[in-house]
Amino acid sequence: MLRPVELQAYGLTLRPWEEDDVKAALRGLSDPDFNRWNTPAAPIEDEQGALRFIRSRREGWARGDTVSFAVCEDGDVRGHVGVQLSDARMRSGRVGYWVIREDRGRRIASRALEALTRWAFRDLRLYRLELGHDTDNEASCAVARRCAYAYEGLLRGARIDLGGIPRDLHLHARLAVDPAPEVPTAP
């Protein structure tokens, strides 16, 4: 079991998801761009689906295999960032994030990912974090570069989209011993 924590960094608050966040979660998870770049277990189209998402995030903390944060700025949820702990023995995990449409372009994803990365290396004692994104997702590639996640290669057909089509992913990774980037700021 992992104890949920709240992080303050780079003008953001990263905190565990709460059931009161259901409207923000629905806005993010039902966004066409979210569904273009991600393959949820089932598309989230209503508050019940968003509530299941929030509850599953809490269950991940309790199981000790996933940490998940609502990314907040000025008290409002702006997005999500988390890490799935893929191999405890190897001290590795896979990060993911999304930002609500109207808040994109403000480097929220970069600031949240950097806060999560530094915390995961320090407090979770992870050694390797991976980041995968569709080859066409230039915004996620920019986030990876800003947060010093080195490009490691192409994962062919690694994601099946909601239409059943295999998609190639770029794989980026950062190690605990890699130099940390300058702290990302809003543009």
As a whole number, the mean pLDDT across the chain is: 93
Q: Which H or E run includes 175?
A: strand 166-175
Q: Three-state SS for 52? A: helix
For residues 135 and 38, what is the distance between their CA atoms, to the nearest angstrom?
12
116 confidence band (pLDDT: 50, 70, 90): very high
Mean pLDDT of 94-104: 95
- State the DSSP code for 128: E
Q: Three-state SS for 145? A: helix
For residues 89 and 69, what is the distance between their CA atoms, to the nearest angstrom?
24
CB 137 within 8 A of CB 155: no
pLDDT in tens, 135-181: 999 999 999 999 999 999 999 999 998 888 999 999 999 999 999 99
Q: Three-state SS for 153? A: strand
Backbone phi, psi, residue 30, to 5°: -100, 0
For residue 138, the model assigns a pLDDT of: 95
Higher local confidence (pLDDT), 7 or 186: 7
pLDDT in tens, 141-154: 999 999 999 999 99
Mean pLDDT of 3-7: 96
Mean pLDDT of 97-113: 96
For residue 73, the model assigns a pLDDT of: 96
The answer, yes or no, to whether residue 187 has pLDDT greater than 70, is no
Domains and their CATH numbers in the chain:
7-131 (3.40.630.30)
Q: What percent of the chain has pLDDT over 90?
A: 83
pLDDT in tens, 19-60: 999 999 999 999 988 888 887 767 888 999 999 999 999 999
For residue 183, the model assigns a pLDDT of: 76
Q: Three-state SS for 35? A: helix
The answer, yes or no, to whether residue 88 has pLDDT greater than 80, is no
Q: Which amino acid is at 18?
A: E
Q: Which amino acid is at 119?
A: W
Mean pLDDT of 14-23: 97
